[in-house]
């Protein structure tokens, strides 16, 4: 049994232990993570997924900034109770333009992968201002201050350029039109601008900014983001069997 006693080498030399751990973790990482980068079935074949509009992108950054992901996941697992409650299970393709993704399974609040269009803009505003006004037993903090903060989107073009490096297919035109698209998406009455936005980002929905203001607030951006979650894929056209692994 002398072989079984060799572990004492690792237990008594921290450097050898570290190297050993590194080798074991590296093998696990290479075998489990490596194939995901070239296997086709990592990301399903599905129509409709599009990059975020500039306003949604800014809303998403506020979502991340405020730590919404600490309580809300955006991943409906392939389990009966979750599919019954939240809708079709999430596809990897649906978050392929998310950097970083917002998956999770810890749900202090409900999953919001398919919240888009489920409730009205007014509901989202009332709920962000004071969650208990509409859901009496909610434990969510108030985010009313977002309605008082004008959206600072000076850096939206740089953000889009960085995302393009990460693989999000923003075109030069998308980036050049970012400011115009933000204005268009927060003023639904300007139909020509909204049509132009819709051409670049299919199924984008324009939301009236709070009080018809000229500059959208952070709340407007967040609501625009929430209202598009899970709305891009048409599951009637999705071939479930072809995408099983």
Partner 1 sequence: MIDHKHQDIDAATGTATTGHEWDGIKELNTPLPKWWLYVLYATMIWSVGYWILYPAIPLPSGATRGILGWSMRSAVTQDLAELRADRAPMVNELNKSTLQQIASDPKLAEFARAYGHSAFGVNCAPCHGANGQGSKGYPNLTADRWLWGGTLDQISATITHGARYGDPDGHQGDMPAWGSQGLSKQQIDDVANYVYSLSNKTTDDVSAGKKVFADNCTPCHGADAKGNPDMGAPNLTTKIWLYGGDKDDLIQTITYGRGGHMPAWGAKLDPATIKALTVYVHSLGGGQ
The binding site for partner 1 (CB under 8 A) comprises 2, 5-6, 8-9, 12, 31-32, 34-35, 39, 41, 78-80, 83-85, 89, 117-123, 126-127, 133-136, 240-241, 243-245
Instruction: Tally the residues of the chain.
Output: 245
User: At closest approach, how far in Å is the CB of 19 from partner 1?
Assistant: 17
The answer to whether the beta carbons of residues 215 and 151 sit under 8 Å apart is yes
What CA–CA distance (Å, rounded) separates 168 from 97? 6
In 10 A of CB 146, how many CB atoms? 22
Indicate the residue among 10 and 157 with the shorter CB distance to partner 1.
10
Residue closer to partner 1 by CB (options 6, 154) is: 6
Least distance from partner 1 to the Cβ atom of residue 14, Å: 15
Nearest distance in Å: CB 122, partner 1? 6
| HSE of 142, CA atoms in CB hemisphere, 13 A | 11
Q: Which is nearer to partner 1, 85 or 106 (CB)?
A: 85
Shortest CB 160 distance to partner 1, Å: 28
- Distance of closest approach, residue 78 Cβ to partner 1, in angstroms: 4
What are 6's strand-pairing partners? Answer: none
Indicate the residue among 2 and 105 with the shorter CB distance to partner 1: 2
Cβ closest to partner 1, residue 129 vs residue 157: 129
Candidates 47, 94, 54; CA nearest to 230 is: 94
Compare residues 154 and 236 and give the one whose CB is closer to partner 1: 236
- Distance in Å, CB of 2 to partner 1, minimum: 7
C-alpha 176, offset from chain centre: 23
């Amino acid at each position: 049994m002398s072989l079984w006693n060799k572990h004492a080498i690792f237990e008594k030399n921290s450097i050898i232990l570290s190297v050993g751990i590194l080798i074991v973790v590296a093998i696990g990482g290479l075998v489990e993570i490596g194939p995901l980068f070239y296997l086709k079935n990592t990301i399903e074949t599905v129509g409709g997924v599009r990059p975020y509009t500039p306003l949604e992108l800014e809303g998403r950054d506020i979502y991340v900034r405020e730590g919404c992901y600490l309580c809300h996941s955006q991943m409906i697992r392939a389990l009966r109770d979750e599919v019954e409650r939240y809708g079709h299970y999430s596809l990897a393709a649906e978050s392929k333009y998310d950097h970083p993704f917002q998956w999770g399974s810890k749900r202090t609040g409900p999953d919001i992968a398919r919240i888009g269009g489920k409730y009205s803009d007014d509901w989202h505003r009332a709920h962000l201002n004071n969650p208990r006004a509409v859901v009496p037993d909610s434990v969510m903090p108030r985010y009313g201050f977002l309605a008082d903060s004008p959206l600072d989107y000076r850096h939206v073009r740089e953000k889009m350029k960085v995302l393009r490096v990460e693989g999000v297919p923003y075109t030069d035109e998308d980036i050049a039109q970012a400011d115009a698209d933000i204005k268009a998406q927060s003023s639904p009455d300007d139909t020509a601008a909204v049509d132009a936005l819709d051409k670049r980002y299919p199924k984008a929905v324009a939301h009236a900014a709070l009080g018809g203001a000229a500059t959208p607030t952070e709340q407007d951006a967040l609501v625009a983001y929430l209202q598009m979650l899970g709305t891009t894929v048409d599951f009637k056209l999705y071939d479930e069997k072809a995408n099983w692994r």
